[in-house]
Each structure stands twice: as C-alpha cells, then as structure tokens.
Structure 1
Amino acid sequence: MIFSSPEFIFIFLPVTFLIYFSLNKARKHKLAKISLVLASLYFYSYWSLEYLPLMVGSIIFNYSFGVLISSKTGRAKKFFLSVGVITNLAILGYYKYANFFLDNINALSGSDFHTMSIILPIGISFYTFTQIAFLVDNYKGYVKEFDIINYTLFVTFFPHLIAGPILHHKEMMSQFKSKWTYAIRYRHIIMGVMIFGVGLFKKTIIADTFAISANIGFAPGFEHNFISAWVASLSYTFQLYFDFSGYCDMAVGAALLFNIWLPINFNSPYKALDIQDFWRRWHITLGRYLRDYLYIPLGGNRCPTFRVYINLFITFVLGGLWHGASWMFIIWGALHGLALAIHRAWKTLGMSMPNPLAWIVTFLYVNTA
C-alpha cells in the first residue's frame, strides 16, 4: 500500500483515524495505541506477510537489548551495545548486500557462487537504522522511557515506516506518551490534509510527469542528441526530488492527523549554494544520522585536516551504500564525499564565488552525480 493509492487515502487512513480516536474518546488510551500499532503492522504487511515476522523479531530484539544496555555499566554496557549493533547490521547486510557481495566475488575471481533468492524486505533500512539509533542513544543515557507499546509504535508508526524520515527515539517518545495527543485537534487535521495534499500533488502530478521523460531517456538503447540528453538528465533529477519529497510530505501530513509531528526531511535542496548547504536541505534526517552516528564517531572535524577529509569521504561512501546494493550508489556517495572535502578546503582557503555561479555549480554537480 502506498500513500497515493485510493486504498490508503479512502479506506486505510480514515478507518485507522476513526478507530484510534474513538478508543481515545472512550478513555481506552492503551487500546487506542495498540490499534495504531496493529494498523501499522497491517500497512507494512499489505504487500506480503512474509517479512512481518522479521520486523516484529527486530523490534523484540532491539527493545530487549535496550533494556539490557540501560541496566548495565562499564564493559557489559558496551558489550551489549556492540552485539546489538552488529546483529542489526548483519541482518541488514544479509538481506540487502549478500547477492551484491557474491556477484562481485564472482566477477573478480571468476568463481560461480550461486546468488540466493533474497527479496529485500520493504523498509528494512529505515527501521534498522531507527533502532540502531535507539541502542546508541540508550548507551549514551538519552533514553528515559521503556514502554513496550510506545516503543513498538515508535518503530512501526506507518507514516514513516516505509521511506522515512529516520527518527530519533528522544524526539518521538515524548509525543507518543503525551495525553495531549489523545483528542482530535482540528487545526492539525487541516494542516495535515493540506501538507498531505501538497505531497500528493508533488508525487502524482509533478514527479510522475517527469518520470515519463526520464524513463524514455534512460531506456536501454535510446539514442540521444544534445537536447534529449539534458531533458532526460534534468527530468530524472526533478523526478527524484518531487517523488521523495512528496512522499515525505505525505508522511508528515498523515502523522499530523494523529497529533504527531515528524521531522521535516527536505528544505528546497535545489536552491543550495554549495554542497554542504545541499546536504543541510536534502534528506535532512539521513544527513543528521550520518553525522551523529558515523562522522562524529570517526572523529568528525576534531582530527587533523586530512583526516577530516577522509572522514567525510568514508561517511558518504557508506551513505551511498546504505541507499542500495550497487556500485552506482557507492560512486554517487563517493562523488558527494569528494565534493564535501573540496568544499571544506575551499572554505578553509577563504575562497568564494558569486551566488548565481555558486548555485549553477552546485546544481549541475548534484545533477551529474
């Protein structure tokens, strides 16, 4: 089920809304949350029930390890964190990267390892990263609440479940436990419907229109001239933005109906005047995640200058790999990591360029990447 489908808009969303607030009105608040969890699990398993046990198992595992981490100190605390993070990454690696790894071994060695019939579980990258953040935040002492229903809702809440944004435990749990969310807020309904409508327009009218030209232009064997090459390239660039941004807008709008504020994930990224500004505007929660859980642990900008450049490069290569099991994603991440290192050196030297030129250079680089 996707947000733009009639089943979601006219059946799932209104039915879930009515059940949730009817139960809250009857003062059955815990049951209302459970109904929202069950609705989210139904939403997740709409395509296939096959991977529902995997997600439920992931929730039970990470919640249990979160409780363990909070109850330990010293080496034991670090041990359980390490086991939890490694287990999450191993599961993600198996489902997302096993065949990619085998294909590359075969290509390099001439061997003939058989690839496995693995179907990537929908949303596994998002709910895995969300829960790794929970374990790390727990280790740092930021997690203060361990209600199993609120935690399950935090992971499964359907607006963010499939395509983000990537959530922090500390910014969501206070909302899920707040009594202020129990009543219908008509202001939120109006805002939510409007934001959802903007996202729906971005996805179905703008992105899907650009997709026509992009699909034709990127079709195997299509012969380009100068104009058609630019049309295909720019069409894909705008399709990608309006598709993803529209989906995130719909997620924010749907969540607001339930009085939940999701973080904004896009802020007009194609207006950026440099590559650092672009990453402050594009997939904001992923950039925040990479900064907090990868770049800073690598040493961030507290290292010698050359090491800072290496940290930036590694962070974005791994960020590219997170997007998908393909050398194209790795190259894309490497291009952005390289651009960020060059931009940092440029600023260190005190250099600048006029805003119009800066915008053109940034946009064309992003488009090329």
Structure 2
Amino acid sequence: MLFNSYEFIFAFLPITFFLYFYLNHNRLTEASKAFLVFSSLFFYSWWNIAYLPIILSSMLFNYIIGTALNKDNEERLHRFSKKTLLTFGIVSNLALLGYFKYMDFFIENINLLSAAYIPLLHLALPLAISFFTFQQIAYLVDSYRQETAEYDFLNYSLFVTFFPQLIAGPIVHHSEMMPQFAKTKNKVKNYRNIAMGVFIFSLGLFKKVVIADTFAVWATQGFDVATTLNLFEAWATSLSYTFQLYFDFSGYTDMAIGIALLFNIKLPINFNSPYKATSIQDFWRRWHITLSRFLRDYIYIPLGGYRKGEFRTYTNLMATFILGGIWHGAGWTFMFWGFLHGIALVINRAWSKLGFKLWIWLAWLITFNFVNIAWVFFRAKEWEDAVKVLSSMLSLDDIILPGFMSSKFYFLFQYGFQFGGFVDNIKGGKDTFAYLFIAFVLVLLFKNSTFHMNKIKFNYLTILFVSLCLSISILSLNQVSEFVYFNF
C-alpha cells in the first residue's frame, strides 16, 4: 500500500487513526498497541502476504537475542558471551539480507569469473528488508551496550513495524520511539499535532505526485529508453533524476513525519535541504540523516573512526561508503557510487586539513555537480546507461538548439550546431527546462518543510494552502507510482 494511493488516504489511514484513539479513549492501552501492530502488518502485507513470515521471523529472532543481551550473563546467556551472541545476531541478520538482496548478484559474478552457469534464484526482494534489518541490528548493538530495556514482544513489534517508517525509514532507535508510545498524553488526540501532520503530509504528497513524478518521465526516457542523447538531453536527464530523487525522498519523509504526528509520534528529521550543501560532508549531514547516523555509529566508529591516524581514517571512510553503496542495491553501479562518495569525503577531509577554503558559491557548485554526476551511477541499471548519459553530458559534438532560435542564431550552423527538437529523445519540451529552473529555486531558496511545520500558524491562508496541495495531488493520483527508496 502506497502513501500516495486512494486506499491509503481514504480508507486505511482514517480507519487506523480513529480505531487506535477509540481504543485508547476506552483505556484499552494494550489493545490499541496490538491494533496498531496489526494495522502495520496489514499495511506491509498489502504488497505481498508472502513477505509477512519473513518480517515476523526476523522480529522474533531479534527480540530473543536482544532480550538475552540485555540480561545478566548468568541469567540468560549460560555458556555464551555477550559478544558471541551479538556477533551471531548481526551475522544472522546480514545473512538474511544477503540471501534475498545479493544472492543473484553474487551468482552472476561467479558465472562471469568462472565461465560456470549456476542458475539464478530470481528471488523477490522482501519489501523494506534493508530498513528493518538495519533498525534491528542497531537494536542489538544498543542492547549489548545496555541502552535498551525492552522485554515486551508487543512493544518491540510496535517499534519495528510502526507503519509510517516501516517501508523506507527513517531508521530509528528504540530509545527515541518507545518512550513516546509510553507517554499517557500521547494516547489522546492532539489537535495541533493533527493539524501539523496534515500540513506536512500534504506538502509531501504534492512533492511526490506533482513534482517528482513529472521529473520521473524525463529521467526514465533518458536512462532506460533513449539510445542516444544530445548535450541538452543528457543534462536534462541527469538533472531530472537528481530532482526526482530529491522530491521523491523529501516527499516520502514529509509524509512519514506527518502520518506519525497524527498518532502523536515525532520521527527524527531525515532530510534537511541537502542540495544547499557546500561540501560533501555537509551533504551527508543533510541527506538521509538517519542512514548517515547508522553508518557513522555502527560502521565508521567501530572501524576506528578518526582515532587511529589519517591513513586509517581515509580507509574507514572508503569502507563505510562502499558498504553504504552496497546497502542501496546489488550492483556494481551502486558500489561505484559509494566509492565516489568515499573518495569525495577523503578529498574533503584532506582539503580541510590543509586549511584551504573556497568561495561559498564555488563550493556549492562543485558539491552539487559532483552529487548530480554521482547520481547517474546510482540511477543507471547498467554501466552502458551511465556511460551513455555521462559521455553525452561531457561532449560538445552533438548540440541541438531549440528550433525557434534558428532565425536569430542561423550563423551557428557553420559551427556544427543544429536546430530542432532539442529534447525529443526524452519526450521533453520547453517546459522541461522551466521545471528544472523552478526546482532549483525551490531547493535553494526555500526553507526545509519541517522548518515551516514548526513555525506554522493555522489560519485561513494555511487552510487554503493545504487544501490546494491536497486537491491538486489527489487529482494527480491517476497513475500511482512507488517511492524510489522502496526499491532499497
């Protein structure tokens, strides 16, 4: 079930909301939690009920391991050390993730290197497996550090399955979620939270179905359909995906935060205007913040962080971001995308150590263009697709200008310029570059939506704005599309 679907907006969400608070109003606290867990599992199973046993088994396994880690050795661990139990838990989680997400990729490379023919398994990737696996690994490590105290399977199930953040994050900690569910005041409808939730949900829905899905058409044509691209088509393709991903993920994040607020739960901020970043380090402080936090706390710091010398620091950065690339998908393009970001972070750190500084506008320009070019590998299904887009972006051999410019710039014919449909191969037109310009304005000049949420004043103007966003978005739901991060 998608956030941007009629069944979610007009059936699942209102029914879940009213029944949850009805049960709490009648002081049926345990029943309300059980109902929210049931609703979340129903939401998850809507995609494919075959995924349900996988998440249930994963939850039960990690609950048992986590509870054992949080108890005294003599009471629960018997002859196993906590470190052994933690290692077993992490390896088991990674094995589950590796089997479903990476097994076919592994087999493909074995076949390529050995000239063998091992049949592919063609496994369907269970929805959200990367997110609920990382979230539960974090829970195990926190339990090992004695930072959790959860011995109730119902509460643990609610922590893992809470549907606003189940499918694509944010990746949350037990300690930042469960105290909120335990608060008595959060079991009563809060009309300010409801108003803020509807406001931020409306913004997110508009970002997704009106803005992101518009850019998706040109990005898909450029990457997956067109066999050749001219200079403008290539740049329009890469920028269209850059903005599609931005508004798609930003929209999902806003919708998740808004839905959670309806239930008086505040999810951590996961997106903070990342295209305003003036360094790659700044970018990762703003993009998918909870994933960056996980990579820092559970990979980079355990590897030694910056505490073991500069060379080791650079090695740790590279390893962390290559693993981050692999987490996003089973493919060499994802690994190379992670490698590029690792290299960029190493250069950024070395540059800072030398004390060099750039003008702010130049630092932004370099950062944005690096991110834009790196997204090409992130989006491309095959190396050839990435090469097609990048080679055309960097080539001046095939420049086609809009046909209406031919009368004024006819002298350019002698320099090899052509006039005509300058973005025909991606099914674009003049509006393509108008949308790109508007997107630049939105991401650079406007504040992050969560800032507006915290400052919002509820008046007739706000109601009109929300109504317009919702109306336009709902009328645009004729072709429902998944969020990009659902694929990870």
What's the TM-score bracket when you normalise by the shorter of the two chains?
Answer: over 0.9
Instruction: Give deviations 1:50-104, integer Å, cap 9, x for gaps.
Output: 0101101111110011111112449611111111111000000000000000001
Counterparts of 1:72-151 in structure 2, within 5 Å, are: 72-73=72-73, 76-151=81-156
Larger radius of gyration: 2
Does the aligned pair in 1 maintain the 2:67–2:150 contact within 8 Å? no
Does the aligned pair in 1 maintain the 2:219–2:241 contact within 8 Å? yes
Aligned to 2:287: 282
Following superposition, which runs of at least 4 residues in structure 1 exceed 2 angstroms of deviation?
Answer: 72-75, 144-147, 219-222
* Structure 2 residue 169 is the aligned partner of structure 1 residue 164: yes
* Structure 2 residue 39 is the aligned partner of structure 1 residue 39: yes
Instruction: Give deviations 1:154-177, integer Å, cap 9, x for gaps.
Output: 000000111111011111111122
Corresponding residue to 1:272 among 265, 277, 281: 277
SS of residue paired to 2:118: coil
Q: Distance between the aligned counterparts of 1:34 and 1:57, measured in 2?
A: 17
Aligned to 1:329: 334
Does the aligned pair in 2 maintain the 1:137–1:143 contact within 8 Å? yes
Q: Distance between the aligned counterparts of 2:305 and 2:151, measured in 1?
A: 31
Aligned to 1:9: 9
Aligned to 1:363: 368
SS of residue paired to 1:136: helix
Instruction: Give deviations 1:21-55, integer Å, cap 9, x for gaps.
Output: 00001110110010000000000000111010110
Instruction: Give deviations 1:247-291, integer Å, cap 9, x for gaps.
Output: 111001000000001111100000000000000000000000000
SS of residue paired to 1:368: helix
Aligned to 1:207: 212
Does the aligned pair in 2 maintain the 1:199–1:247 contact within 8 Å? yes
Aligned to 2:229: 224
Q: Distance between the aligned counterparts of 1:329 and 1:232, measured in 2?
A: 18
Q: TM-score when scaled to structure 2?
A: 0.75
What amino acid is aligned across from residue 239 of structure 1 in structure 2? Q
Does the aligned pair in 1 maintain the 2:318–2:339 contact within 8 Å? yes
Q: Distance between the aligned counterparts of 2:66 and 2:113, measured in 1?
A: 40
Aligned to 2:261: 256
Q: 1:221 Cα shift? A: 4.1
Q: 1:356 Cα shift? A: 0.3
What amino acid is aligned across from residue 350 of structure 1 in structure 2? G
Q: Distance between the aligned counterparts of 2:180 and 2:26, measured in 1?
A: 20
Corresponding residue to 2:321 among 303, 307, 316: 316
Does the aligned pair in 2 maintain the 1:25–1:183 contact within 8 Å? yes
Could you tell me the percent identity over the aligned residues? 58
Q: 1:116 Cα shift? A: 0.6
Aligned to 1:20: 20
What amino acid is aligned across from residue 119 of structure 1 in structure 2? A
SS of residue paired to 1:218: helix
Aligned to 1:349: 354
Q: Distance between the aligned counterparts of 2:327 and 2:101, measured in 1?
A: 9
Does the aligned pair in 2 maintain the 1:154–1:176 contact within 8 Å? no
Q: TM-score when scaled to structure 1?
A: 0.98
Q: 1:146 Cα shift? A: 2.4
SS of residue paired to 1:71: coil
Instruction: Give deviations 1:104-159, integer Å, cap 9, x for gaps.
Output: 11111111011113100000000010000000000011112322211100000000
What amino acid is aligned across from residue 243 of structure 1 in structure 2? D
Unmatched tracts of structure 1, length 5 or more: none
Q: 1:219 Cα shift? A: 2.5
